[in-house]
Structure 1
Amino acid sequence: MTKRNAELIFVGMDVHAETITIAMADGNGVEKGRHVGTIPNRPESVRKALKKLGNLGSLRVCYEAGPTGYALYWQLTKLGIACEVIAPTLVPVKTGERVKTDKRDAIKLAQCYRAGELTPIFVPDTVHEALRDLVRAREAAKKDQLRARHRLSKFLLRLGRRRDSKSRAWGQAHQQWLDTQRFEQAAHQATFEDYRNEVEHATERVARLEGAIDRAIADAPLRMQSLVEGLQSLRGIAKVTAVTLVSEIGTFERFSSAPK
């Protein structure tokens, strides 16, 4: 154990939407990790709790990646506290270790972090995070659009309505064919119109989000713009795919080799 490590305090946090359970392990490696307490998941509560543990510069904080995202990471790094977000699936699991509690999880994180047994993940900056959320919103919209189209198609098929044309599905000719559909039963007509409106709304949503992606890239740092343009020069990679890669991967420099 180096003198440098002995001066550090390793902190494990079990983070939930409303609470954070904190544990610590001294850098000397002699004492076991110990439970510090549970606090509200609020910026001021976090700051006060960590300040009580010692000099903020001597703290090494970690927590598992989860639904609370990276807000805590950004808060801590802004305070000058070294923090890493840990891959949950790579946390060591001992044989017979079945009972999990917030307290035990926090202590385990602190001890494993001190031992160097945890694997941190890449944390995007706020620009990449915002772009990733936008890209994922567009992906969700595309899935909703596909479901809406399937719902309308199955309804028409069930009533024996089939297009004779071999034109592209959902293209202009397809829309013109839909314009001609009329039903004797008012209930069928109402169902058809509702399903079609759903398709149109989903399509408008996709277009709106794709426009937002275009604007986000236009306003992005030049480095990000260049990376998106460079990826599009590769065969088979369109703009949306390029933006998705950039938003999800972040920076390619963090990979030392292609397999990684």
Structure 2
Amino acid sequence: MADYREAFVGIDVAKLRNAIAIADSGREGEVRFFGEVDASDESMRRVIQRIATKFNRVYFCYEAGPTGYGLYRLIRSLGHECMVVAPSLIPRKPGDRVKTNRRDALALARLLRAGELTAVWVPDEGHEAMRDLVRARAAAVETLRVHRQHVSAFMLKHGRIYPRRKGWSMRYLRWLQEQPFDHPAHQIALQEMVEAVRVSKERVERLEDVIEEFVPTWSLAPIVRALQTLRGVELIVAVTFATEVGDVQRFESPRQLMGYLGLVPGERSTGETVRRGGITKAGNGRVRHMLVESAWTYRHPPRVGAKKLYRLEQAPPKVREIAWKAQTRLTARYRMLSGRGKRTTVVCTAIARELVGFMWAVAREAQAI
């Protein structure tokens, strides 16, 4: 086997051209720049096949980014190993201030050979489509929030204060329509902003209807149904968790999932000194935001409503048991932390962290069925 040769290929991907570097196996193996090639599928296919003919086994890697997973699927279809690398976890020298495509490709090839790269989880095409749909809905919600803020800021600037607490109800919209302005331009500006809110709200509702339509045929539909047995976890929260986290089996413990979502406290300790701060906020912010929002529901005593009872009746016995255990524990913990004088934001973050553990257990139970 003396002539058995392996190669490690680092690809710095871009919109138009990809930079490629090759590292020979072994500690003293040569690391050389292959060149820049067109980023199209046909061009990359020819280059991959050309490199593969020179070695017995080839490993590829590139950074996760806006170009997506098309290159990963192309390389895998050609029968080679490929890693999509987490950019934030790539080791970098603090004093290295020069960045070029060539240097990035060489660094990727060298680090891939050394085993210093961390891979991201790559979804299949169906999962990626659902995730894009959920993220489109999240973007629509953010647009709706911005348009509502425009209306609120406009009314505040003109000294118009809504006399009731709850805004954006039908009563609030009628109140907006009844507001007179001296200059007709102000009236037109308000009408345009209110119309933008209406259009944004309809867009959110359309996307939510489409998500509800596609979930039953999705491969993770059993997990989505099981997650909805938990208090504070409805369809959008469950689908967002499933699309962003993906395969829960890759997390060996709930603590790993908590760390992945950035819900564990940061720590900076040395010697006998232990310093812990706020949560790391690493990982996926979309799921973390929704879980903190869901945690607010645990301020109420444990009980099962009519809608949640229907979900529980459809769930397996073990899932029902986990859901009730989560409700009794988290409501009691909310009361305990609040009784100690903790701020509500801190309390909800702590509840969200424990809620992740119960969601991990429910998802694994649903996958095992």
**TM-score w.r.t. length of structure 2:** 0.65
Aligned to 2:129: 130
Count of aligned positions: 255
**1:211 is matched with which residue: 185, 209, 212?**
209
How far residue 230 of structure 1 moved from its aligned partner, in angstroms, is 1.1
> In the alignment, is the contact (CA less than 8 A) between 1:22 and 1:36 conserved in 2?
yes
How far residue 4 of structure 1 moved from its aligned partner, in angstroms, is 10
Q: Which moved more, 1:78-87 or 1:48-57?
A: 48-57
- 1:208 counterpart SS class: helix
Write the distance in 2 (CA, Å) between the matches of 1:29 and 1:216.
Answer: 50
- 1:1-260 to 2 correspondence within 5 Å? 7-55=5-53, 58-94=57-93, 96-166=95-165, 168-221=166-219, 224-260=220-256
Cα deviations by residue, 1:155-178 (Å, 9 ceiling, x for unpaired):
223323333344x31122222323
Distance 1:174 1:95, change over 3 A: closer
Write the distance in 2 (CA, Å) between the matches of 1:149 and 1:57.
Answer: 60
- 1:122 counterpart SS class: coil
Write the distance in 2 (CA, Å) between the matches of 1:138 and 1:57.
Answer: 46
Write the distance in 1 (CA, Å) between the matches of 2:94 and 2:157.
Answer: 55
Write the distance in 1 (CA, Å) between the matches of 2:148 and 2:6.
Answer: 58
How far residue 84 of structure 1 moved from its aligned partner, in angstroms, is 0.6
Write the distance in 2 (CA, Å) between the matches of 1:230 and 1:186.
Answer: 54
Write the distance in 1 (CA, Å) between the matches of 2:161 and 2:235.
Answer: 34
Distance 1:93 1:155, change over 3 A: closer
> In the alignment, is the contact (CA less than 8 A) between 2:4 and 2:56 conserved in 1?
no
Cα deviations by residue, 1:6-36 (Å, 9 ceiling, x for unpaired):
5322111011111101111122443221111
**Runs (4+) off by over 6 Å:** none
Residue type matched to 2:34 in 1?
V
Structure 2 alignment gaps of length 5 or more:
257-369
Q: Which moved more, 1:20-29 or 1:186-195?
A: 20-29
Residue type matched to 2:38 in 1?
P
How far residue 142 of structure 1 moved from its aligned partner, in angstroms, is 0.9
Residue type matched to 1:103 in 2?
R
How far residue 94 of structure 1 moved from its aligned partner, in angstroms, is 3.2
> In the alignment, is the contact (CA less than 8 A) between 1:5 and 1:27 conserved in 2?
no
Residue type matched to 1:225 in 2?
A
Residue type matched to 1:45 in 2?
S
> In the alignment, is the contact (CA less than 8 A) between 2:12 and 2:63 conserved in 1?
yes
- 2:255 counterpart SS class: coil
Task: Please give the root-mean-square deviation of Cα atoms over the aligned residues, in Å.
Answer: 2.0
Residue type matched to 2:136 in 1?
A
How far residue 89 of structure 1 moved from its aligned partner, in angstroms, is 1.9
Write the distance in 1 (CA, Å) between the matches of 2:188 and 2:56.
Answer: 65
Distance 1:4 1:95, change over 3 A: farther
How far residue 82 of structure 1 moved from its aligned partner, in angstroms, is 1.1
**Identical-pair percentage:** 40
Task: Indicate the structure whose relative CO is greater, using CA pairs within 8 Å and at least 6 residues apart.
Answer: 1
Write the distance in 1 (CA, Å) between the matches of 2:18 and 2:79.
Answer: 19
> In the alignment, is the contact (CA less than 8 A) between 1:5 and 1:28 conserved in 2?
no
**TM-score w.r.t. length of structure 1:** 0.91
Write the distance in 2 (CA, Å) between the matches of 1:95 and 1:209.
Answer: 44
Residue type matched to 1:84 in 2?
M
